[in-house]
Amino acid sequence: VRNAKRLASELISYGYKLVTDGTDIHLMLVDLTPISIGFGAIAQEALELAGITVNKNTIPNEQSSPFYPSGIRLGTPAITTRGMREKEMSEIAGFIHRVLQEVSHYSLPPKGRRSFIKKIREELSQNNTIKEVREDVKKLCERFPLYPELR
């Protein structure tokens, strides 16, 4: 839970709103409505392209469709299992922030959402910041391999 608490506090320090103002467990829900309603769907796509797995997630009093929600849910079990600790949570929060800043100008249209998501996925696959973060994520993961005994 220490990793989750550190990741949560780092995200809060970047100005993100967590639904419970932090976490007491290994999961957290980030409310992205200050960026844009329905931004969770955009964030999930961008972060996935950067090598970071999150789930788009509805938030309390959601103003968007459950298919295009305004939040993202993330957790720390997988990275903790790899041996990452609080120091790496700070790095990961920085990666998330860089990606979300890069895509914060996007906003979900009222119609044609599926094709919009497909279009931005194509655009973001060529985005230099997304590529840089993906490389940084890869380097971090190489320091904490899934099966160190196979090195």
Taking each continuous run of H as one helix and of E as one strand, the counts in the chain are 6, 4
Per-residue confidence band for 151, with pLDDT thresholds at 50, 70 and 90: low
Q: What is the pLDDT of residues 27-77, one digit of tens each?
A: 999 999 999 988 999 999 999 999 999 999 999 998 898 899 999 999 999
| Distance (Å, whole) CA 75 – CA 108 | 25
Please give the full DSSP string across 89-117, using - where no structure is assigned: HHHHHHHHHHHHHHHTT----SS-HHHHH
> Which pTM was predicted?
0.93
Phi then psi for residue 144, to 5 deg, are: -130, 70
| 112 CB neighbour count, 10 Å cutoff | 11
Q: Averaged over 134-146, what is the pLDDT?
A: 95
Q: What is the pLDDT of residues 78-102, one digit of tens each?
A: 999 999 999 999 999 999 999 999 9
Sketch the domain layout of the chain as residue ranges.
Answer: 2-146
User: Looking at the domain 2-146, which fold is it?
Assistant: Aspartate Aminotransferase, domain 1 (3.90.1150)
| Dihedral sign, Cα of residue 26, residue 29, residue 35, residue 38 | positive
| Distance (Å, whole) CA 39 – CA 130 | 17
- What pLDDT does residue 80 have? 94
Q: Which two tokens stand for residue 44?
A: 């999930």
- What pLDDT does residue 41 have? 94
3, 16 contact by CB (below 8 A): no
